[in-house]
Amino acid sequence: MSEKIDINKPNFMEKIASFIVNKRNLFFVFFIGACIFSIISSGWVEVENDITKYLPESTETRQGIDLMEKEFVTYGSAEIMLSNVSLKKAYEIKKQIEKIKDVTEVKFENTDEYFKGSSALFKVTFAGGANDDISIKALDSIKKKFKNYDIYVSSDVGFDMSKDLKGEMNIIIVIAVVIIIAGLTFTSKSYAEVPVLLITFGAAALLNKGTNFILGKISFISNSVAVILQLALAIDYAIILCHRYTEEREHLSQHDAAVKALAKSIPEISSSSLTTISGLAALMTMRFGIGRDLSFVLIKAIFFSLFSVFTLMPGLIMLFGNLMEKTKHKNLVPSISFIGRADYKTRYVIPPIFLVLMIAGFFVSANCPYAYGMNDLKTHTMSERQIAREKIKNTFTQKTLIALVVPSGDYTKEAAMLAEFEKFDEVDRSQGLANTEAMDGYMLTDALTPRQFSELTDADYSAAQALYAAYAADKKEFGRIISGFESYSVPLIDMLTFLHKETNEGYIPLDEETTDEINEIYDKIEDGRLQLESNKFSRMILYLNLPEEGKETFSFLDKVHEVLYKYYPDNSYVVGNSTSDYDLASSFSKDNILISILSALFVIIVLFFTFKSAGLPILLIAVIQGSIWINFSFPVIMQQKQYFLGYLIVSSIQMGANIDYAIVISSRFNELKQKKDLKEAIIETLNGAFPTIITSGAILAAASTLIAFLTTNGAIAALGESLGRGTIISIILVMGVLPQILIIGNKIIERTAYEIKKPDIITSNTGRMLVNGHITGKISGFVDAEIHGILRGDLSAAIRLGSVETLPEEANTEKEENENENNN
Condensed to tens digits (0 to 9), the pLDDT of residues 620-659 reads 888 888 998 999 999 999 888 888 877 877 877 777 666 7
58-67, 441-450, 773-782: segment of lowest average pLDDT: 773-782
Q: How many CB atoms lie within 10 A of CB 776?
A: 14
Single pTM value for the model: 0.74
Residue 54 — very low, low, confident or very high, per pLDDT cuts 50/70/90? confident
Across 660-667, average pLDDT: 79
Q: Can you tell me the distance from the alpha carbon of 425 to that of 422, in angstroms, rounded to the nearest whole number?
A: 8
Residue 416 — very low, low, confident or very high, per pLDDT cuts 50/70/90? very high
pLDDT given at position 34:
95
Strands (E), 67-182: 77-83, 103-107, 115-116, 119-126, 150-155
Give Cβ neighbours of residue 514 (< 8 Å, ≥ 6 apart): none
Across 813-817, average pLDDT: 47
Q: Are 280 and 602 in contact (CB under 8 A)?
A: no
Q: Can you tell me the distance from the alpha carbon of 466 to that of 479, in angstroms, rounded to the nearest whole number?
A: 15
Q: Can you tell me the distance from the alpha carbon of 236 to that of 658, in angstroms, rounded to the nearest whole number?
A: 11
pLDDT given at position 330:
80
Across 295-323, average pLDDT: 93
Q: Can you tell me the distance from the alpha carbon of 219 to that of 165, in angstroms, rounded to the nearest whole number?
A: 12
CB burial of 740-759 (b: ≥16 within 10 Å; e: otherwise) equals: bbbbebbebbeebeeeeeee
Residue 795 — very low, low, confident or very high, per pLDDT cuts 50/70/90? low
More confident residue, 17 or 793: 17
Dihedral over alpha carbons 124, 128, 129, 132 (to 10 degrees): -120
pLDDT given at position 482:
67
pLDDT given at position 786:
61
pLDDT given at position 342:
93
